Structure 1
Amino acid sequence: MVKLKLPEEPGDFNPTAAGEYWINKRKIDHTENTIRSNQKDLDPFLMWCDEHGINRVGDLTEWTIEQYEDYAHAREDWSPITIKNKLQTLKQFLRFLGEKGALDSYLHPAVTVPDLERSKEVNTEKWDKTDALPQIRYMRNSPKWFGTFEHAVTEVAWFTGRRVQAIAGLDLSDYTREPDEDDPADGPYLDFKHRADEGTGLKNKLDSEDPVEISGDVADVLDHYIARERNNKRDDNGRESLFTTRQGRASIAKIRGAIYIATQPCIRISCPHGENAKKCEYRKRDHASKCPSSRSPHRIRTGSIQWQLDQGIAPEDVSDRVDASVDTIRRHYDVPDDREKMENRRRKYTGVLEDSIDDGDESRGQPQSGNDDDDDDDSEGSPPAPTQ
C-alpha cells in the first residue's frame, strides 16, 4: 500500500490525493477488480474538481455535488448504468471523507444515485449462445484451433461461467480428468481456490472456492492443450499454472486478449463488417478488443449464465457453478428477451398442459349432452382452429 503524506487537517486534502488515500485504504479488503472499478468511476470526479479549481475537499458543498451530477447526466458517452456506477462510487468516497472529518457535514446523502428500471440497469450485451455454440463447435473440429491457448481458455470460460481472474488463478493440479475412487465427483472438474497470499485471489474469497464439473469434451480440449501447447513453467510462487506463457502464469490481460481473438466470428465465417480477415488489424491480439463482434470475458460469463439457465439448470445450482448470488443472477444475467421467455415457458409447461388434456379420458368418445344446437351452423362439426 502506497504511503501518503497526510495534511494537518483532513479538510485540506487535495481531492486527487484524497482519492488516492481512499483507494489505498480499500486495497486492504477489496479485490483488484473492485479497486480498478472504483478508481475508474472516481477519476472523472477528481478531474472535474481539478478543472473547476477545487483544491480542498473541505470546500466541497451540496451545490458542488449538484453541479457534478448535472455534468454526469449531460455526458452523451455515459450510459444510464455508467452514470449510476460513478455516482454510487462518489457516494462511497464522500461517506469516507465525512467519517474522517474532512467535510463540515456529511455530504454523501446529497448524491442522488439514479434508480434505474431493470431494462436500463442490466447490460444485456453478451456472447449469445447462437454465436457461442457454433464458434465452440468449429474450434473443436478445427485442426488449426483445437486445443490452442485461445480455444482452451474460451472453453473453460464458457462452460464454467467463471470470472477471468478465477481462470487465471487455476493451477495444473486444480484440473482433474479422472477422479479417484475416494473423490465424490464422477467426472472431470476444475477446482477453483482462493490464494490471495500468492497473487491469485477470488472475488468472494473463500466463498468463491468450489469444484466445478466440466464435460468430457472440455476435458479433451484441456488434455490436448496441456500435452501440445502449454509451457512447462512455474509462476513466481513456484506453482504450476494451468494456463501459461513462456514467462510463467498467464496474466488476466493475456487471457482476456485470447478470448477477444477466439470470439471473433471471422474465425469461421466471412467478416460481418465487410473486412478482409487476413488484412484486418483487429485480428492482431493487441487490437482484437476493438473488433465490434469480439466479446470480453465478462460477456462470455453473461452468455454462459444465460445458456446454463436455458438448459434448465436451477438458478441455485448455476449460482454455485459461476460464483454469483441467486439474486445477482436473476437481476443482472437472467435477462432473456420476450421470445426466449416464451420458448422457456413452452419447454417447461407445454408438455404438462398437454398431458392434462390427454388425461381427460372420462369424456373421450362420449357425445356432448344436449347443447349441440347452440353451436354455430357454419362450423360443420370441424374442430376450431388452434390459437397461436
Structure 2
Amino acid sequence: MKANTNPTDLQAITPVEALRLYLESKVDEWATATKELQQFHLNEFVEWLAEEDIDDMRNISARTVHRFRLNIKGDIAQSTLSQRVSSVRRFLQFCTTIDAVSPSVPERVEIPNRDTEARTETLEADHAEAALDYLERFAYASREHALLALCWHTGIRTGTLVALDVDDVEPAQNRLRIRHRPESDTPLKNGTTAERYVALSEDVAEVLEDYINHKRKDIEDDYGRMPLFATENGRAPVKTLRRWFQATTRPCIYGTECPHGRDKNECAAAQSMSNASDCPSSVSGHPIRRGAITHFLRKDVPEKVVSDRMNVSTDVLEQHYDRRTEDEKAEQRREYLDGL
C-alpha cells in the first residue's frame, strides 16, 4: 500500500488501534519471541502517548519520539535505547501505509548509536551504602528501603522489578524467583531465558519479608496478581519506580552535604519528591544496576557469576556495565597471580 504524502488526508486512529493493526500485520512474519519483544517495546510507547494525552496518531511528530526517547533513556542501556527507538520507527513506518502518520515522521526519527554513546552514569558504592544505612535506621522495611536494597543487592533490571509478585520472594530459601509472564503484561527483556532464581542475603530477605508483612499495601493488579511494588492503582510501572529511585538517592535526604552547593531549604529537588530528578546526583534504576555490577566485580566476584546473576552477557557486561578502571583490573589480576 502506498503511503499518503498529503498530511491533510491523514486518517484519525488511536495509538492502541494502530498498534493492534501493526501486530496483526506481522503475525506470519515474526517468531513468538520477536512478537513479545516488539509488543513490550511498543506498549511502553503507546502507554507514554496516553500519559501525554496523545490519542490520535496524526499528532505524532519526530519531536514526540525524541521526547519519548528522553523519557526512557535513564533506565536502560544505550544498546537497548537504540533497539526501542528502532521499534518505534518501524511502527511509524507501518502507520504511514495506513494513512495514519506523515511519511516525513519516521524519516526524521534519529536512532541512537548502539555503542559509542554508551552511558556511564553510575551509583557508586559509598552513595548506595549511605542511602541504605539511612533507610535501615529511619525507614526500615519501607517500600523505598525494600526497592533500593533489592536492586543494589541483585542488580536486576527495573523492568524485572516491575514484574515481581509477592510470592516470587522466598525468604525461607533466601532467594528470589524471576519469571517471564507476557500473558499478564510482565514480560522479561530476554524472555524465558531470563527466568531464574537469584540468591538473597539473609539481611535483604528479611527486609523484603518485613516489607511484605508490615508495610506493603494489599493491592492486586488487573490480573489478580499481587505485585511486590504497587501503587493505589495496581502494579507500579517503570516510570514510578524511576521516581522512587530518584527520590531515595538524593544525597541531602540521608544527611550528606549537598555536593552541588545548593541550599536544601531553597532547592526544589530537595523539597519535593516530584522534583527529585532535578538533583544532579539522583539516579534511576539503570545506574543503580550498573553500580551494583561494578561493585560485585570489585569484590572479586567472577564475571561469569555476575553475568548469570544479572542476566547480561559477558561482552555486554564489559562494554556497558563494568566501570572499573584498567588499574583496578590489573591489581585484581595481580592478586590472583601473586601466589603462583
Is TM more than 0.5 here? yes
Amino acid at match of 2:169: Y
Render the CA deviation track for 1:155-201: whole Å, top value 9, x for unaligned: 1111111111211221111111113xxxxxxxx11101111111211
- In 2, are the aligned partners of 1:157 and 1:300 still within 8 Å (CA)? yes
Q: Quick one: percent identity of the two aligned structures? A: 29
Residue among 256, 264, 269 paired with 1:282: 269
Q: 1:84, 1:194 → 2: CA distance?
A: 23
In the alignment, is residue 332 of structure 1 matched against residue 324 of structure 2? Answer: no
Structure 2 gap ranges (5+): 25-34, 49-56, 65-72, 99-105
Name the Cα RMSD after superposition. 4.0
Call closer, same or farther: CA 1:99–1:326 in 2, change over 3 Å: farther
Aligned to 1:30, what secondary structure does the other structure show?
helix
Amino acid at match of 2:128: A
Call closer, same or farther: CA 1:31–1:314 in 2, change over 3 Å: farther
Match in the other structure for 1:254: 240
Call closer, same or farther: CA 1:239–1:348 in 2, change over 3 Å: same
Q: 1:262, 1:12 → 2: CA distance?
A: 49
- In 2, are the aligned partners of 1:23 and 1:38 still within 8 Å (CA)? no
Q: 1:305, 1:92 → 2: CA distance?
A: 33
Q: CA deviation at 1:304?
A: 1.4
Alignment of 1:189-268 (within 5 A): 189-268=175-254
Aligned to 1:10, what secondary structure does the other structure show?
coil
Call closer, same or farther: CA 1:86–1:258 in 2, change over 3 Å: closer
Match in the other structure for 2:170: 176
- In 1, are the aligned partners of 2:307 and 2:314 still within 8 Å (CA)? yes
Alignment of 1:1-388 (within 5 A): 9-12=1-4, 25=22, 28-30=35-37, 34-35=41-42, 47=61, 120-140=116-136, 142=137, 144-179=138-173, 188-268=174-254, 269-278=256-265, 280-283=267-270, 284-336=272-324, 340-350=325-335, 352=337, 354-355=338-339
- In 1, are the aligned partners of 2:3 and 2:97 still within 8 Å (CA)? no
Amino acid at match of 1:11: A
Q: CA deviation at 1:85?
A: 7.2
User: How does the TM-score come out when normalised to structure 1?
Assistant: 0.62
Render the CA deviation track for 1:20-58: whole Å, top value 9, x for unaligned: 798653694325663378789xx9xx73699xxxxxxxx
User: How does the TM-score come out when normalised to structure 2?
Assistant: 0.70
Structure 1 gap ranges (5+): 1-8, 51-77, 101-107, 180-187, 357-388
Q: CA deviation at 1:349?
A: 1.3
Q: CA deviation at 1:305?
A: 1.6
Render the CA deviation track for 1:226-268: whole Å, top value 9, x for unaligned: 2321112222222222223344333333222111111111122
- In 2, are the aligned partners of 1:234 and 1:248 still within 8 Å (CA)? yes
Larger Rg: 1
- In 2, are the aligned partners of 1:31 and 1:203 still within 8 Å (CA)? no
Q: 2:63, 2:172 → 1: CA distance?
A: 58
Aligned to 2:177, what secondary structure does the other structure show?
strand
Match in the other structure for 1:65: none
- In 2, are the aligned partners of 1:257 and 1:286 still within 8 Å (CA)? yes
